Amino acid sequence: MRRKLLHQGLFVVFVLLIWQIVYKWKLFPTLMFPSLADIGQAFFDGFVKEELGQMVMYSLSLLLRGFIIGMSLAFLLSGLSIMNKVFGDIYSMLVSMCDLIPGVALIPLAILWMGIGEETIILIVVHSIIWPMSRSIMDGFSSVPKLYKEVGRNIGLNQFSILLGIYFPAAFAHVLSGIKVGWARAWRGLISAEMIFGTTSSGAGIGWFIFMKRTNVDIAGVFAALLVIVAIGIVVEYVVFRFVEKHTIRKWGIGK
């Protein structure tokens, strides 16, 4: 683990050095390729002099609401697909169809249906997570040996108990993988939606911050916002998901 972190740290330092060298040699226009110092200053100003912190928290609040709704629907519908074969055949087709539609492509329809507001962004987030997560869950369910199900029936478990007590634990590695993919897609869909139609009546998110910085040709500010997005992703991946993995699939002996 330490060696892995060392390799990753050295790579980051190498990239930063290359970045600064490219800036010093003026290989690209300074306006389009800011220095690390300019990006750092924009990062500081964004939180201290502007409202980047509030925008990040607003975006995360929308993401959390949409994520909970999308994840709940994915669990519910994927579970029903296992309990009922007819529903499973239909839902599998829906997942294959809807998973191909980018969330951004739904924004015009969502605006016409629901207007410009939080509900539209949450709809895009739900769409971004429910299909890839459902696909992973159903793939996980299909990989569970039939013997497990037969054992559950022999000890008197009903369909619901088999689903919660056998399918979900046995397929949890796939479930967690689906949550990861859904999280990443939901985050991208959220920011894309915010960049397209900007603010809502309740506030503005980090996507709107990026849009305004781009409009004002503040490229350092754009990179500062991208650093925030990357930092949030790293925290979720290396803290939240690693914690869940450690106390579930690794503890149960079904992961590396």
Q: What is this structure's pTM?
A: 0.82
Determine how many CB atoms are found less than 10 A away from the CB of residue 211.
Answer: 21
| DSSP code, position 32 | T
Q: At what angle do helices 107-114 and 118-142 cross, to 10 degrees?
A: 130
Structural domains for the chain: 39-246 (1.10.3720.10)
**Contact present, 59 and 190 (Cβ < 8 Å):** yes
DSSP 3-state of 44: helix
Cα(31)–Cα(41) distance, integer angstroms: 15
| Mean pLDDT confidence for 108-117 | 80
List pLDDT tens digits, range 18-39.
Answer: 988 888 888 788 778 888 899 8
Cα(177)–Cα(184) distance, integer angstroms: 11
**pLDDT at residue 198 greater than cutoff 80:** no
C-alpha 13 chain-centroid distance = 26
Structure-block tokens of residue 76: 């519910």
| DSSP code, position 203 | B
pLDDT score for 161: 80
pLDDT score for 202: 63
